[in-house]
Amino acid sequence: MRWLDIILHDVRPRLWGMYLIGAVLGAHNLAGLLPWRLLPSLLFFVLCANCMLDGIPALCARAADPQDAVVQRTPAQHRRLFWCVLAAILANCVLIGLARDWCEQLLLGLFLVLALLDSLPPVRLRARPVLDLCASAICVLPAFLGYYQASGHYPAVLVIAAALCWTGALRLLSAVQDVLDDRDAGVRTTAVALGVRTSLLVCALLWSGFALIIVLQGYLMPLGVVAFVYPLLGFYLFEYFEMGEHVAKWLPLLNGVLGGAVIALALTRLL
């Protein structure tokens, strides 16, 4: 149970939801969601992928500053986290080896590369302006993989663009909350480079692009109209940026509710 404890302590259940959204949207019928097709990838995103996304930064932070109270763990906890992360990386490599074709290998390989380069020095994408937003694509790669495995082809280019706008804005908003700490630590993220107000405006614009693509292309209508909640939220934060910390606490709930609604709507269309 110690392995389960460290997984649940260091990760948040998010990527498996993105994978399910992609799979349900890509399936042409219920047969496309057969467990034997999706189960290996789904288990990876439930148990392993989040461990990589949260565990690798935690290990890098401890290596950079062992005395930092935020990343303090006992040696035993640190070892367990290390082995969990290593097991997750190996699981990613196994999935790449078992992939049906080069398209699956490409998506799984990109996930592994971004998970490593996002935190590992000297590259450390999360500490480089613009590149930190590009690295946020890792959060929607599971959706692209699920879509491909269920449909046999990649999502439309505009869908990919909308997803990248959405996750880029989320990453930038998250970085805005850490601007002062990052600036003091000498970490130059996009939020540090742009400043708080400009970063919030960019968030609103990215979310506006996301919502416009969804609505103008007629995706998931009538639910697609709800996508405009994001740009409205972005412009609200731009005007009342002191509310950012409070709003950010509700974003995971908003994402979860809308993600569940997307899955439910897509399933009803398959019945």
Dump pLDDT digits (tens) for 154-213. Answer: 999 999 999 999 999 999 988 888 888 888 878 889 999 999 889 999 999 999 999 999
Q: What is the mean pLDDT of the chain?
A: 84
Q: What local confidence, expressed as pLDDT, does residue 239 receive?
A: 82
Q: What is the pTM of this model?
A: 0.88
Round to whole Å and give the CA distance between 123 and 89: 18
- Quick check: 251 and 170 in contact, CB under 8 A? yes
Q: What percent of the chain has pLDDT over 70?
A: 87
Per-residue pLDDT tens over the stretch 57-88: 888 876 554 444 445 667 777 788 889 899 99
Assigned fold of 156-271: Four Helix Bundle (Hemerythrin (Met), subunit A) (1.20.120)
pLDDT, mean of residues 30-45: 83
Measured torsion, CA atoms of residues 18, 91, 27, 230, in degrees rounded to the nearest 10 = 10
Q: In this structure, what token pair is assigned to residue 86?
A: 């290593």
Q: Where in the chain is the domain with CATH 1.20.120.1780?
A: 156-271
Residue 55: count of CB within 10 angstroms of its CB: 25
Structure tokens at 82: 């290390």
Q: What is the per-residue pLDDT for 230?
A: 92
For residue 60, give the nearest of 16, 123, 141, 108 by alpha carbon: 123
CB burial of 181-201 (b: ≥16 within 10 Å; e: otherwise) equals: ebeeeebebbbbebebeebbb
Half-sphere exposure in the Cβ direction for 37 (13 Å, CA)? 19
Mean local confidence (pLDDT), 97-112: 94
Q: What angle do CA 254, 259, 261 make, to 5 degrees?
A: 100
pLDDT of residue 32: 74
In this predicted structure, the answer to whether residue 22 has a pLDDT above a threshold of 50 is: yes
